[in-house]
Amino acid sequence: MKVRVLFVCLGNICRSPMAEAVMRHQVKQAGLGHLIEVDSAGTGDWHLGHPPHEGTRKLLDEHRISYEGMKARLVTKNDFHSFDYIVCMDSNNLRDVRKLIGKAEDARNVKLFTFMELLPEQGIADVPDPYYDGNFPFVYELVDKGCAQLLMRIRNDLKLSE
């Protein structure tokens, strides 16, 4: 049985695909690709079918992390039935996802939280959106640290040693 993780942001071109790519990379490095599957989605439909933002791609290229085949998509009601962890990049996305869950019939017990809950020491509630401020390096730092924390949480939930 695979554990499935979904990262959610607004347009699914900056933060959530960055988190998807970084988490996939960390999962692969840990040798857990057979146990953990990762995806991303957005709550807005402006960029459907587009690859990650140029700023995200540039940073992932610098860190030699693949984003091959990634295209923006919308989060759907079906995601609540197929993912074990849904990690929202900010509180607005969490609110929007909760609205969708409320409409999803028989939504199963998914672990739903904001990404920054993984990094309480940072003292910020939301991953800033680099689409607006261009600060992709800061977002990458948060994503890298947060994905490592999420991987530890999943290992603990699965009772796997490191």
b/e per residue, 94-122, with b = 16+ CB within 10 A? bebbeebbeebeeeeebebebbbebbeee
Residues 123, 92, 13, 112: what is their CA dihedral angle, to the nearest 10 degrees? 80
* Catalytic-role residue among 14, 15, 79, 88: 15
Give me the number of domains the chain comprises.
Answer: 1
Q: Which residues of the chain have pLDDT under 70?
A: 103-108, 161-162
Both ends of the chain: CA-CA distance in Å?
Answer: 19
Residue 9 falls in the annotated catalytic set: yes
Report which of 158, 148, 150, 151 is spatially closest to residue 1, judged by C-alpha positions: 158
Identify the pLDDT of residue 80. Answer: 87
Report the CATH number at residue 113: 3.40.50.2300
> In this predicted structure, what is the pLDDT of residue 109?
76
Q: pTM of the entire structure?
A: 0.94
Range of the domain at 7: 3-158
Is 129 designated active site?
Answer: yes
Q: Give me the pLDDT at residue 102, please.
A: 75
The pLDDT value recorded for residue 28 is 97
| pLDDT at position 158 | 85
What was the pLDDT predicted at 31?
95
